[in-house]
Amino acid sequence: MDSIVVTGNGPLSGEIPIAGAKNACLTLMPATLLSEEPLTLTNAPRLSDIKTMTQLLQSLGAEVTSMQDGQVQAMSSHDINNHVAEYDIVRKMRASNLVLGPMLARLGQAVVSLPGGCAIGSRPMDLHIFGLEKLGAEIELKDGYLHAKVPGGLKGAVIEFGFASVGATENVLMAATLAKGTTVLRNAAREPEIVDLANCLRKMGAQIEGDGTSEIVIQGVDRLHGATHPVVTDRIELGTYMLAPAICGGEVECLGGRRDLLEAFCQKLEAAGVEVTETERGLKVSRKNGRVQAVDVTTEPFPGFPTDLQAQFMALMCTAEGDSVLEEKIFENRFMHAPELQRMGARIEVHGGTAKVSGVDRMKGAPVMATDLRASVSLILAGLAAEGDTQVNRVYHLDRGYERLVEKLRNVGAKIERTAGS
């Protein structure tokens, strides 16, 4: 099994190109099931999760062609000949459940295995089922599969989510584009990935208003057509690489970065003493005046502080001046990186959904174990500023969310290498 070895090597300097958003691309790809005409995505990230979604779509009968070294995904669903999303594929990735809404809308039936993914909480399908049933679907859970059908076709409805779920908003939004009548989604998620999905669906002929707010209105249409759409910048990759110079010192420009994707995160960085500057090509981040200051963080749905950057921000707080409190309000079990950071000398106390971090002057390299995608990269960030070598094991998690991470960090001066396991 591969591992990554990081050696603390001083300040960073240079440029890091930010890829298209994994979470956006995984939502956009199932949208091809809504139309018989081709859907082409540009600026696609080159990640193992994208390959998994490709396999899932192909298993349903879609044609998916990867071009330009994976940065373009050309898809066609003119001949969908299977409505069963099998466990062997779906178990690898939670986003696989996003084929449910499009298949119900296009085919009137779907059988989808309950999904897998990172072990950071239960993340149930309840809200997905709730929303689709409001549109007229009949859904039954049997033997680990959701068996769904729509005898009379989907019909518009007013749907108020009990929680602003990103996945449920995406699934129901896609289904509603082909429902008869008007659908109103209340307490809808507001993430940039949902705005990106709505922009793509509008290019395909959907009638959608209000995306980016808590109320989205969809007027159903008879059919959708093909389109070409660029995947939005990955705000989580952006935030991760913004933290690299914040932890190590130096100055790095993140090409393609946009502050509006991460305003709450940028404010916390600045409060810690890190400078964030908008440029013509992205965001420039610099830290030149000693240790950062401790800052408290509470994760919230967008536009709040992203849960997917909590682990990475904790790595920064490990060497901050003073005590910080990080409160996780989105997912349970999302402090599994804390014991591994403690192995490197961090002072962290975890109590339920809250972690208190007392900054130390410098951490020390150690062998550590990655537990999930974001935890993996938090350990690499910590290793960049630690004394000696940090060996991060089980890094296959990283391949799900970060393309060419070693290359990108090495290009700004990090001492990092990936070694093949036996």
Known binding positions for phosphoenolpyruvate: 22-23
Please give the sequence-ordered ranges of beta strands (E in DSSP) within 138-249, or none if there are none. Answer: 138-142, 145-149, 158-160, 182-186, 207-209, 215-219, 227-230
User: Which residue, among 92, 93, 90, 91, has the nearest Cα to 103 in the 3D structure?
Assistant: 90
Is 266 noted as a catalytic residue in this protein?
no
Cα-flanking dihedrals φ and ψ of residue 175, to 5°?
-60, -40
Asked whether 251 and 286 are in contact (CB, 8 A), the reply is yes
Q: What is the C-alpha separation between 99 and 60, in angstroms, rounded? A: 10
Q: Cβ–Cβ contacts within 10 Å for residue 75, how many?
A: 24
**CA separation for the pair 139, 151 (Å, rounded):** 11
Q: How far apart are CA 269 and CA 179, in angstroms?
A: 43
In three-state form (DSSP H/G/I as H, E/B as E, the rest C), the secondary structure along 102-163 is HHHHHHCEEEEECCCCCCCCCCCCHHHHHHHHHCCCEEEEECCEEEEECCCCCECCEEECCC
Residue list for the binding site for UDP-N-acetyl-alpha-D-glucosamine: 94, 123-127, 308, 330
- Distant-in-sequence, close-in-space partners of 330: CB < 8 Å, separation ≥ 6: 299, 300, 301, 307
Tokens 């669906």 belong to which residue? 201
Among the options 25, 118, 200, 254, which is catalytic?
A: 118
> What tokens were used for 234?
């990955």
Annotated binding residues, written as ranges, equal 22-23, 94, 123-127, 308, 330
Mode of pairing for the β-strands spanning 63-67 and 72-76: antiparallel
Cα dihedral 408, 410, 411, 414 in deg (nearest 10)? 120
Backbone angles phi, psi at 293, to 5 degrees: -95, 145
Round to whole Å and give the CA distance between 354 and 16: 32
d(CA 82, CA 59): 7
What's the DSSP call for residue 319? T
Catalytic residues, by residue number, are 118
